[in-house]
Amino acid sequence: MNLFDVYPLFNIEIVKGKGCKVWDKEGNEYLDLYGGHAVISVGHSHPVYVKAITEQVNRLGFYSNSVINSLQQTLADKLGKASGYDDYALFLINTGAEANENALKLASFHNGRKRVIAFKKSFHGRTSAAVRVTDNPAIIAPVNEGLPVTYLPFNDAALVEAELRKGDVSSVIIEGIQGVGGIRMPSDEFMQSLRGLCTQYDVCLIVDEIQSGYGRSGKFFAHQYAGIRPDMITVAKGIANGFPMAALLISPLFKPAYGMLGTTFGGNHLACAAATAVLDIMEEEKLIDNVNRVGSFLMEELRRLPGIKELRGRGLMIGIEFEEPVKEIRRRLLFEEKVFTGVAGTSTIRLLPPLCLSMEEATDFLNRFGKLL
Ligand SMILES: Cc1ncc(COP(=O)(O)O)c(C=O)c1O
């Protein structure tokens, strides 16, 4: 059987990782400024993480959501404390798209409406409703087209209000910082206006923190820069450092009912052990402080490099936009300088390193990158 060929692959096989470094099967060492697409939060193969998963799988890997799993409550307690959302409820699933599906669904159950406001250049996943609220017609199949969606530009509250006033909007969904769209930030004032308008028109505000959350922006959630509290927050990627897991944080406004949401694998024992270890390591190693320190240093130093059109981002979520396409420079970074980075569109390099990136590793990256400019 062949693999269904949907990924354009680099001819590299990564077989080992440690901290912010990975190795291919020929033994070449790479600096990881990509974190496997913003997934590696506490570093590859962190010993505390490895121990937690190993011990858990030796005890019990999985049992269903029909019996008590106290690891879920342990995780909820720690996540509530770390994020400042102790009064919200937690629903655990497996992928980012699934988190957004459930958020959109819960909003619609809550207010009985259908239409969703999403934003230009948004990315929210590849399944049913999640892909429909993604601003990329190329990945929306006819079966996804049923949900009515209006895509609006960032930072224009008047346009949002004109839509909400029509009375048929169920939710507004927005990324804390757009990732796939090129590391684009909604202004804090716009986020505050969205919060106010959603409350005024009884519309649910969903903030997708799947890429920008879990400390990556320098706060636990990127929307916390604006001082707002959404009705629902979706998280995935960094939550379990590579173990497939996602979550939905739900405000007390929403009342649960048996069977309303559900999943077979979501919140399983192994995933909870992985996610709890991540929060323990983040606290113990003060990783959010590290994000702020190393992120500011990177931004400052990147500003000195030639040829860069625009730098965007917060913390360790950085977009470096050039006038020209970045395909070649990214290829040379990978094959000549042995550095993994991401892209957005054709002209932006995305830096999404593990949150434990050290000053030395950041300097090492800047030297390797500078050589190619
Ligand atoms: C902001 C955002 N939302 C949703 C998703 C979808 O997550 P997943 O691939 O885990 O379904 C992604 C993935 O890149 C993302 O960046």
Q: What is the CATH number of domain 48-284?
A: 3.40.640.10
The contacts of residue 73 (CB under 8 Å, 6+ apart) are none
From atom 7 of ligand 1, which residue's Cα is the shortest distance away? Answer: 96
Atom of ligand 1 nearest to the CA of 95: 10
Cα(97) to centroid(ligand 1), Å: 6
The domain locations on the chain are 48-284, 286-326+333-354+367-373
With a 6 Å cutoff on the Cβ, whether 179 touches ligand 1 is yes
| Cα–chain center distance at 268 | 20
Length of the chain: 373
Atom of ligand 1 nearest to the CA of 98: 11
Per-residue pLDDT of the chain (373 residues; tens, 9 = 90+): 999 999 999 999 999 999 999 999 999 999 999 999 999 999 999 999 999 999 999 999 999 999 999 999 999 999 999 999 999 999 999 999 999 999 999 999 999 999 999 999 999 999 999 999 999 999 999 999 999 999 999 999 999 999 999 999 999 999 999 999 999 999 999 999 999 999 999 999 999 999 999 999 999 999 999 999 999 999 999 999 999 999 999 999 999 999 999 999 999 999 999 999 999 999 999 999 999 999 999 999 999 999 999 999 999 999 999 999 999 999 999 999 999 999 999 999 999 999 999 999 999 999 999 999 9
Q: Which CATH class is domain 286-326+333-354+367-373?
A: alpha beta
Atom of ligand 1 nearest to the CA of 244: 10
